[in-house]
Amino acid sequence: MFDRRLKIVLIVLAAALLVIVARLVDLQVLHAGDYRTQADAVLLRPAQPLPFVRGRILDRFGAVLAADQPCWQVAVDYDAIVEEARREPVRTVPPLWIRLSAFRGESMDVLHQRARDIAARVENWADRVSAAAGYPVPIREQRMPHPILTALDDQMQVAARERFAATPSAHVTDGTVRVYHSSPSLPHIVGQLGAVGPDDLMNDPASDDPLSRYEPIESRGVSGVEYAAERLLRGRRGRIQQSRNGRTMEDIKPLSGRDVTLTIRMDLQERLYELLDERIPQLCPHPAGGSVVVLDVESREILALVSYPGYDANLFRRLYSDLRNDVRFEPLRFRPVANVYHPGSIVKPMTCLAGLASGVINTESTFHCDGYYLENVRDRYRCWESTVTGQRKAHGDVTATSALRGSCNIFMYHLGDAVGVERLCRSFEWAGLGHLAGTGLREERFGINPTPEWLALYRQAPLSPGDARNYAIGQGELVVSPLQAANLFAVYASGIWKPTQLIRGLGEPRALRLPIHADAWRAVREGMFQVTNDTEGTAYVTAHWANERFALCGKTGSATTPPKPTHYRIDYRNANGNSQSVALPAALKRDAVDAFRERFPSAEFDAEKDVVVESLFPPAGTQSDEKYAHAWFGGYLQRLDTSGRPDWNTPPRFAFVVLVEFGGSGGHVSGPIARDIAQMLFDLLLGELATQTVNGGQPS
């Protein structure tokens, strides 16, 4: 009985063993290849991101202003970058970084700062990921090399492979570089890319999409159109994932960013920059900088937006220190949109329109000018003084038209008093003053339209009798950007306010027809015609443009301004308690303080008492209250009829403004430049000028 049971158990065990052996033969011999394939499919390689190509920036005719181009780069392992970022300045520089510095002549300070920036960005992101997870989490960027030398061409990449062949932590890889048009007329418009920062990662609108969201090692637009059109220009990363045997398990193609077309005409933009580069040193006693803006009156598209001086955008990082410290010319300033100035006499047409629209005056009303507004006060509220004869103007009895022709301050003082601040500022509001011009650029400023509400909030003082007088001649708190001023002249030309456009394809802007009757427009436009076409006009000698088909109409302006600081002296105590001082280049006190703290982090000083202006530009004279003036001219080209008179039924096609900082007289400095601009517009845009239509929206 026992033997029988034992045999049964042995048979069962033998059968089970045969099944196991058979299964092993099936796994290891018969279907080994199939099972190995399935196992490999489960073991995937890490997914690899596929970079997108950022969209191009084009001018209105398709000229490329900015585009990604393939390049080579030298990338360094992250551990080596962290080691360099943490290196104290007194310690010996590792051989790798000496070779990197020598390869293209970049200073060790620049490379050291680059390493610190990369390490800071990656560590910041790693801290955020770990904090969200609740425990330390390594991120991909800590295991990959990062570019240190970029934009290498084919010849340089061959040299780099030879130079760094024996350096295991340096790798020559492919990449892309943003390449800009080299014209110095463009960098402010196109803008720059910069590193993605913590705020970008925290406030990323695409944070839920792993392929669209920002990564800590990426770049994004930080200025100009690169910033304004970031969501259009930026593409979407792709992703590829493979098994260990090379089989593709996922393949998501990258999506390139969209091209962005600007309203700018590159040919006009460059020629206007060259004009400023030639004429400002010739005409201006204290050359510093300037702006030109040209608008299409009907569409308000910006045809030119020139900030002078400029630079080659491709050299921005290499030249940054020099550009930042040039506090006289301030080449980094985007003058047409980021700087605001007193408009001076270029607002006088709007002052007249305010009086005419409100019924305070009519087209025949007169005020008398004997050179002074107040009989017993001769040191203020005066008419202007000729820079040629030195004599103060006394225009006699003047109407709105003749007051504009001669730029009579006394007429404007009387009119400002009669109209009052509220109605005067309301008319400025109609023309867009105190509002953004509509480009979408982050650099754009509102300017100031000093309404009673604004004065109560910011000046915190009641209206004074002189406020309306100052605003009537474009002084006081009233400030505008050159772009706002150009749009003001488009309003003078058409009777319609619209926001300006810099990026095409964003829709038709809204329009506002000003509530001003035709007789008022005709009187004001006649005055602007006489400014340059009547022998008594303030710009006849310098800006009269002889042309059989068109006339230059416009208005000069000289906006008084004090000299600007260029250096600040800071008195401080060093680490040993000794008193010292240093002069730093800066246009603003806060910039000087920031630069000082960066340069002398352990120094002690009082930011209120120990920081004083060291030097000014233009140099101040013997009187501490000496003032200079910015020189304005704004205008448009008006079609003439067969008798040589303006055809007021045909709206002008183009309006423009030119500003020369510290130029002095608008007529004598900006006037000749305006005449050159009129000829340039005629030469370049004659075909478009000839297509003007009668009664195209201009009040008659």
pLDDT digits (tens, 9 = 90+) for 506-525: 877 889 999 999 999 999 99
pLDDT digits (tens, 9 = 90+) for 1-25: 666 766 776 777 777 777 777 777 6
Residue tagged 């020139």 (tokens) = 306
Nearest alpha carbon to residue 509 among 263, 228, 186, 226? 263
Q: Which two tokens stand for residue 536?
A: 């008594």
Non-local CB neighbours of 370 within 8 Å, separated by 6+ positions = 394, 396, 410
- pLDDT of 31 above 60: yes
Task: Return the minimum-mean-pLDDT range out of 40-54, 295-309, 329-343, 496-510.
Answer: 40-54
Q: What is the dihedral of CA 557, 563, 567, 571, to 10 degrees?
A: -140
Angle between helices 95-104 and 154-163 (to 10 degrees): 150
Cα 629 off chain centre by: 25
377 vs 598, higher pLDDT: 598
CB-CB contact of 120 with 146 (8 Å): no
Largest Cα–Cα separation, the chain:
145
Q: Name the more confident of 476 and 26.
A: 476
Beta strand ranges found along 233-345 (DSSP E): 238-242, 248-252, 260-261, 290-296, 302-308
Residue 69 CB-half CA count within 13 A:
15
CA 284 to chain centre: 25
| C-beta separation of 56 from 259 below 8 A | yes
pLDDT(34) > 70: no
| For residue 697, pLDDT beyond 50 | no
Q: Does pLDDT of 604 surpass 70?
A: yes
Whether pLDDT at 622 is above 70: no
Give the lowest-confidence range in 163-172, 373-382, 461-470, 548-557: 373-382
Per-residue model confidence (pLDDT) at position 460: 82
User: Taking all residues of the chain, what is their mean pLDDT, rounded to a whole number?
Assistant: 89
Distance (Å, whole) CA 76 – CA 123: 16
> What would the mean pLDDT of 398-408 be, rounded to a whole number?
94
Quote the pLDDT of residue 390.
59
b/e code 315-347 from CB counts within 10 Å (16+ = b): ebeeeeeebeebbbebbbbbbbbbbbbbbbbbb
**Dihedral of CA 389/390/393/394: which sign?**
negative
pLDDT greater than 50 at residue 696: no
Predicted confidence (pLDDT) at residue 386 exceeds the cutoff of 70: no
| Both structure tokens of 24 | 């092993």
For CA atoms 382, 629, 269, 195, give the dihedral sign: negative
pLDDT at residue 13 in the model:
74
Helix ranges (H only) for 143-238 are 154-163, 187-190, 198-202, 224-228, 230-233
Give me the mean pLDDT over the 123-137 stretch. 86
Overall average pLDDT of the 338-345 stretch: 96
CA-to-CA distance for 674 and 486, rounded, in angstroms? 13
Please tell me the predicted confidence (pLDDT) of residue 274. 97
Burial of 363 (C-beta count, 10 Å sphere; 0-12/13-18/19+): middle
3-state secondary structure at position 656: strand
Bridging pattern class, strands 193-195 and 170-180:
unpaired
Stretch 312-331: mean pLDDT, rounded?
92
pLDDT tens digit sequence for 189-200: 999 999 888 888
Do the Cβ atoms of 69 and 150 come closer than 8 Å?
no
Q: What is the DSSP string of 537-581?
A: STTHHHH----SSEEEEEEEEEEEE--EEEEEEEEEE-TTS-EEE
Under 8 Å between Cβ of 637 and 545: no
Band (244; pLDDT cuts 50, 70, 90) = confident
| Dihedral sign of CA atoms 67, 73, 79, 81 in order | negative
Confidence of residue 27 (pLDDT cuts 50, 70, 90): low
Indicate if the pLDDT at residue 40 is higher than 70: no
User: What distance in Å separates the CA atoms of residue 180 and residue 192, rounded to the nearest whole number?
Assistant: 9
Whether residue 623 is predicted with pLDDT greater than 90 in this model: the reply is: no
- pLDDT above 70 covers a percentage of the chain that reads 91
- Do the beta carbons of residue 175 and residue 71 sit within 8 Å? yes
Q: Distance between CA atoms of 133 and 140, rounded to whole angstroms?
A: 15
**Ramachandran class of 98: left when φ > 0, alpha when ψ lies in -120 to 50, beta otherwise:** alpha
Residue type, 324: R
Residues 6+ apart with CB under 8 A from 587: 327, 330, 564, 565, 566
Residue percentage of the chain with pLDDT more than 90 = 63
Ranking 128-132, 312-316, 330-334, 481-485 by mean pLDDT, the lowest is 128-132
Average pLDDT on 546-564 reads 93
pLDDT digits (tens, 9 = 90+) for 59-75: 999 999 999 999 999 99
- The rounded distance, in Å, linking the Cα atoms of 62 and 567 is 43
What mean pLDDT do residues 308-324 have? 93
pTM over 0.85: yes
- For the cut 70, the answer to whether the pLDDT of residue 39 exceeds it is no
pLDDT at 690 over 70: no
Per the model's pLDDT, the better-predicted residue between 41 and 222 turns out to be 222
Q: What is the mean pLDDT of residues 433-437?
A: 95
Q: Quick one: tokens of 299?
A: 């569409």
pLDDT recorded at residue 251: 86
| Partners of 631 in the β-ladder | 558, 660
Is residue 396 predicted with pLDDT exceeding 50? yes
